[in-house]
Amino acid sequence: MAKLIILTGAGLSAESGLRTFRDNDGLWENHSVEEICDGRTWRRNFELVHKFYNDRRTGLATSEPNEAHRMIAKWESLYDTIILTQNVDDLLERAGCKNVIHLHGFLPEMTCAKCESIWNIGYTEWRADTPCPTCKSLGEARPRIVFFGEAAPHYRTLWDSLYSLSDRDVLLVIGTSGTVLPISQIAAMHPGVKILNNLGSESAIEDNLFDKVFHMPATQAAKIIDPILKERLQASED
Ligand SMILES: [Zn+2]
């Protein structure tokens, strides 16, 4: 059975009202996010790190999945699908996706840098003076987010998935600028059909490496991509 591999970024959740790091010229309360949420220095910026992610986490409570999230859930139910996202929100899950690989972490979850336990706090704020619920350490709890300068453990899953693709499989990239993940390199290595959806051209992505390019919001593109996938992925079952 042919596979569908979907790689998504901030553009997927933009229509759900989720702001990205890059809004406001990448500044947050006059700090750069790279400076605060850095794997080497986050303890020094402990209060700010928690304030930044508390704001993002509580904001999730009032965001809703959009038609593109729901379409991805539908595709997952129909096809042999791998969903990889750079987004840390849970909108794909709330749209009904069963198995989402979060390459850069997951906002509702916390982790302890000391004992590595993971726990879910939903859309609530984490008070920086609260100890780890497992080992009781203070100052070790952090959002389960891959900070700047840190290795992303699921990149291994990403590359393994990409290397496993055949020319019958479809690669679909939605809403990513290609500045973090090497989208052009990923497209170049895939032997099958490649589809790209972004609002417009991105300087870090070579659109001509893709078979089909849709420059429009993700909800709009999802409706056009739906019959293409149906043709490609159902036909290959014969
Ligand atoms: Zn702990």
Q: What are the pLDDT tens digits along the chain (238 aa)?
A: 899 999 999 999 999 988 765 655 666 777 788 888 899 999 999 999 999 999 999 999 999 999 999 999 999 999 999 999 999 999 999 999 999 999 999 999 999 999 999 999 999 999 989 999 999 999 999 999 999 999 999 999 999 999 999 999 999 999 999 988 999 999 999 999 999 999 999 999 999 999 999 999 999 999 999 999 999 998 655 5
Range of the domain at 185: 3-18+65-104+151-235
* Residues 58, 82 within the same domain: no
Distance 138 CA to ligand 1 centre (A): 8
Residue 64 burial by Cβ neighbours in a 10 Å radius (0-12, 13-18, 19+): exposed
Distance 78 CA to ligand 1 centre (A): 40
* Residues 10, 45 within the same domain: no
Question: Domain count of the chain?
Answer: 2
Distance 139 CA to ligand 1 centre (A): 10
CATH number at residue 89: 3.40.50.1220
* Residues 13, 33 within the same domain: no
Residues 6 or more apart in contact with residue 41 via CB below 8 angstroms: 35
Q: How far is CA 193 from the centre of its chain?
A: 22
Distance 112 CA to ligand 1 centre (A): 5
* Residues 161, 198 within the same domain: yes
* Residues 135, 213 within the same domain: no
* Residues 91, 205 within the same domain: yes
Distance 122 CA to ligand 1 centre (A): 18
- Active site (catalytic) residues: 104
* Residues 46, 97 within the same domain: no
Residues 6 or more apart in contact with residue 186 via CB below 8 angstroms: 7, 162, 171, 173
* Residues 95, 123 within the same domain: no
* Residues 123, 178 within the same domain: no
